[in-house]
């Protein structure tokens, strides 16, 4: 994974001798995402700048990726997991210039430049955000993956030029408007149209009613997703909190670790044993559970501790990197940010992570309160629609702050079709079943029972309950009652509802002062699950300004020593 920055529609009137160094300087603001190499493509009507983190084909594959005739230029942040099948099919008509998995995007476009981009975008299995420039037609395509796993922002400067960047910080001060590029969409400068290319068949509850899926099918589909996402030519690891989701991903990775995915499992892997990583306060539930899971899967485990003071010290850097003041996201991002630095220091450049499972299977504790299958399914869809603003953003930006690429197999589009195609009656928490019961059943015998049947802990809770309590206590000391009472005057947009939220908003403003930047953060209560329908399930939770899972009345249990 890398970073991109592009400026499009220069109208042949730009002084490139001035604009090029300016674009390079702006791109450098996100170089933490791609410390391995920088590349620039220059055209009278476009500039593409790329900061590379080399994972696949590290010796080659530098970007922007150019076609042999140099008429196509591609700057992309991401991975295309099914690139091999396209390369085989297209190499007779397209002259590949590298071993990069992402070059198949150029090849697919070149094979049918007049086709609707959605026709070939929907065939990609991966995570990506890219700008593709066709110099012959002076045309740009801008696209983002199905779930917004890779971040992407866009805006216009005072001269009306279109700027695109992986992170908001690169264009926030230049653009008069800035917003997130929507997941699952493509923008074509030739038509001026923004089009949704991702259209899964499971969005409506009526489409999945009566569709039963066995635990065996779920397990096989997820194992295939993990296997696809293990491609790479550099040291990698797994994030292992000791919760169900990360433990399942780690167990799947351990199964395939000895063979090299890139050559069809025909040779020994270059790094044949999985390394797992966890972090928490001293004595945290996650650290203890992670040790149990690591022993079960025989990973080389690395558990790290941090102190409350270290977390508080990191808050300004964390908020600047994650580009949000959402309370839930800041709480969870800070330990992840600290863990990423530890992982980077050990030479690891890619990790597999468990994000997305709760949104596919209803793992959050408030799903215990769902009144019926339709409400359950509709809330899953709503959660997935918002995921790019919460967990995807957190995982990507807090890890990429240190040049560590996170991959999320639960959000593999093929696996998502399996998981979201299940009738929600199979997922509901009832008749004594625990949340995500069907997923747990799928991995019986793979993980020890104390991990397999461990209750959901949100990451910011699981690293140690003292973390959230400490954040609240700190906010009490630095934000006065008068400041909070007048919050609507200082922050009329997305007004903070608690002292903790006020603190994060104040820090955010130091790096992102404009109203446009603040508008990129979800509005309303700082609760990732705050839809009117979901909160109506539990009046106590609906009236709480605290998004911790511990706030769900009558559901959360105290942690059990494992």
Strands 126-134 and 72-80: antiparallel
Residues with Cβ within 8 Å of residue 65, at least 6 apart in sequence: 73, 74, 75, 76, 97, 98, 100, 102, 103, 106
In the chain, how long is the greatest CA-to-CA distance? Answer: 70
Rounded Cα distance, 271 and 20, in Å: 40
Structure tokens at 439: 């997923």
How many other C-beta atoms can be found within 10 angstroms of the C-beta atom of residue 489?
A: 8
Contacts with 123 (C-beta within 8 Å, 6 or more apart), sequence order: 86, 108
**Buried/exposed 10-44: b ≥16 CB within 10 Å, e otherwise:** beeebeeeeebeebeebbebbbbbbbbebbbbebe
Q: Where are the beta strands (DSSP E) in 396-473?
A: 405-407
CA torsion, points 408, 414, 416, 418, in degrees to nearest 10? -140
Options 3.30.70.141, 3.40.50.300, 1.20.1290.10, 3.60.20.10; CATH for 3-196 is 3.60.20.10
Give the distance from CA 130 to its chain's centroid: 15
Sheet with 162-165, side-by-side order of all strands: 37-43, 46-52, 3-8, 162-165, 153-156, 177-180
Give dist(CA 526, CA 508) in Å, integer. 15
What pLDDT was estimated at residue 70?
97
Residue 8 contacts residue 162 (beta carbons within 8 Å)? yes
Q: Kindly give the pairing relationship between strand 153-156 and strand 177-180.
A: antiparallel
Strands (E) across 169-286 are located at 177-180, 185-188, 193-196, 236-239, 275-280
> What is the CB neighbour count within 10 angstroms for residue 315?
18
- Phi–psi pair at 117, nearest 5 degrees: -55, -30
CA-to-CA distance for 427 and 375, rounded, in angstroms?
12
525 Cβ neighbours under 8 A, 6+ residues apart? 497, 545, 547
- Asked if residues 366 and 552 have their Cβ atoms less than 8 Å apart, the reply is yes
Length of the chain: 562
Which pLDDT score, from 0 to 100, does residue 523 have?
78
Q: 3-class DSSP state for residue 48?
A: strand
Q: 10 Å Cβ neighbour count for 408?
A: 24
- Identify the pLDDT of residue 558: 46
Chain CA centroid to CA 44, Å: 34
State phi, psi for 504 to the nearest 5 degrees: -65, -40
Catalytically annotated residues? 2
CA dihedral 488, 492, 493, 495 (to 10 degrees): 0
Strand partners, 52: 37
Pairing of strands 275-280, 236-239: parallel
* Whether residue 465 has a cis bond before it, omega within 30° of 0: no
Q: Say how far apart CA 314 and CA 316 lie, in whole Å.
A: 6
Q: Which two tokens stand for residue 356?
A: 């997305």
Cα R_g (the chain), whole angstroms: 23
- Going from N- to C-terminal start, the domains of the chain cover 3-196, 205-551
CATH numeric code, 205-551: 3.40.50.620
For the chain, 562 residues long, give each residue's pLDDT as a single digit of tens.
699 999 998 776 667 888 999 999 999 999 999 999 999 999 999 999 999 998 887 777 789 999 999 999 999 999 999 999 999 999 999 999 999 999 999 999 999 999 999 999 999 999 999 999 999 999 999 999 999 999 999 999 999 999 999 999 999 999 999 999 999 999 999 999 999 999 999 999 999 999 999 999 999 999 999 999 999 888 999 999 999 999 999 999 999 998 888 788 888 887 788 999 999 999 998 999 999 999 999 999 999 999 999 999 999 999 999 999 999 999 999 999 999 999 999 999 999 999 999 999 999 988 999 999 999 999 999 999 999 999 999 999 999 999 999 999 999 999 999 999 999 999 999 888 999 999 999 999 999 999 999 886 655 566 878 999 999 999 999 999 999 999 999 999 999 999 999 999 999 999 999 999 999 999 755 444 455 555 678 666 555 555 555 455 556 554 444 3
Which residues, at least 6 apart from 494, have a Cβ–Cβ distance to it below 8 Å? 325, 505, 518, 519, 521, 523
- What are the strands, taking DSSP E only, across 244-348? 275-280, 300-305
Structure tokens, 177: 């408007």
Q: How many CB atoms lie within 10 A of CB 510?
A: 10
Return all residues near 83 (Cβ < 8 A) that are at least 6 apart.
101, 102, 103, 104, 126
Distance from C-alpha of 243 to C-alpha of 250, rounded to nearest angstrom:
11
**pLDDT for position 561:** 40
DSSP state string for 90-120: HTTTS---S--GGGHHHHHHHH-TTS-HHHH
Distance CA 280, CA 241 (A): 9
Q: Is 431 exposed, middle or buried (0-12, 13-18, 19+ CB in 10 A)?
A: exposed
Please list the alpha-helical segments (H only) found in 122-239: 215-229
pLDDT of residue 457: 63
Distance CA 62, CA 514 (A): 34
């Amino acid at each position: 994974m890398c970073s991109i920055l592009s400026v499009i529609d220069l109208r042949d009137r730009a002084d490139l001798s001035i604009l090029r160094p300016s674009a390079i300087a702006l791109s450098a603001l996100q170089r933490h995402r791609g410390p391995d190499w920088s590349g620039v493509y220059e055209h009278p009507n476009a500039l593409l700048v790329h900061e590379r983190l080399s994972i696949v084909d590290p010796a080659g594959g530098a970007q922007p990726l150019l076609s042999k005739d140099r008429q196509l230029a591609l700057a992309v942040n991401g991975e295309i997991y099914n690139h091999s099948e396209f390369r085989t099919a297209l190499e007779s008509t397209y002259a590949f210039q590298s071993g990069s998995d992402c070059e198949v995007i150029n090849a697919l476009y070149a094979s049918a430049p007049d086709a609707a981009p959605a026709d070939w975008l929907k065939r990609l299995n991966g995570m990506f955000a890219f700008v593709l420039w066709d110099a012959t037609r002076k045309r740009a395509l801008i696209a983002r993956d199905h779930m917004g796993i890779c971040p992407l922002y866009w805006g216009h400067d005072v001269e009306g030029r279109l700027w695109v960047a992986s992170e908001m910080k690169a264009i926030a001060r230049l653009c008069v408007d800035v917003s997130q590029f929507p997941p699952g969409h493509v923008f074509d400068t030739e038509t001026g149209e923004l089009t949704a290319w991702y259209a899964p068949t499971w969005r409506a509850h009526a489409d999945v009613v009566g569709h039963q899926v066995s635990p065996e099918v779920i397990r096989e589909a997820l194992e295939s997703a993990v296997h696809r996402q293990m491609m790479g030519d550099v040291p990698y690891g797994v994030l292992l909190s000791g919760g169900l989701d990360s433990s399942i991903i780690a167990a799947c990775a351990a199964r395939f670790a000895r063979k090299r995915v890139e050559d069809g499992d025909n040779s020994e892997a270059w790094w044949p044993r999985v390394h797992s990583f966890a972090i928490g306060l001293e004595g945290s539930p996650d650290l203890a559970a992670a040790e149990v899971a690591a022993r079960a899967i025989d990973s080389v485990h690395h558990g790290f501790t941090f102190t409350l003071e270290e977390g508080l010290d990191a808050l300004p850097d964390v908020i600047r990197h994650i580009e949000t003041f959402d309370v839930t996201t800041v709480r969870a991002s800070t330990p992840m940010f600290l863990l990423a630095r530890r992982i980077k220091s050990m030479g690891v450049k890619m990790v597999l992570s468990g994000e997305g499972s709760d949104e596919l299977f209803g793992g959050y504790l408030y799903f215990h309160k769902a009144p019926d299958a339709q409400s359950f399914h509709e809330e899953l869809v709503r959660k997935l629609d918002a995921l790019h603003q919460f967990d995807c953003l957190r995982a990507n930006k807090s890890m990429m702050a240190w040049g560590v690429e996170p991959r999320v197999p639960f959000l593999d589009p093929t696996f998502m079709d399996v998981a979201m195609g299940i009738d929600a009656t199979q997922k509901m928490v009832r008749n004594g079943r625990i949340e995500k019961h069907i997923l747990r059943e799928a991995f019986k015998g793979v993980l020890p029972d104390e991990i397999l049947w461990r209750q959901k802990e949100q990451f910011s809770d699981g690293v140690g309950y003292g973390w959230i309590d400490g954040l609240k206590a700190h906010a009490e000391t630095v934000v006065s009652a008068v400041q909070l009472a007048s919050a609507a005057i200082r922050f009329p947009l997305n007004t903070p509802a608690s002292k903790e939220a006020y603190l994060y908003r104040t820090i955010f403003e130091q790096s992102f002062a404009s109203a446009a930047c603040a508008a990129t953060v979800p509005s309303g209560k700082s609760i990732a699950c705050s839809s009117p329908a979901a909160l109506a399930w539990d009046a106590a939770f609906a009236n709480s300004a605290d998004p911790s899972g511990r706030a769900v009345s009558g559901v959360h249990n105290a942690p059990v020593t494992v």
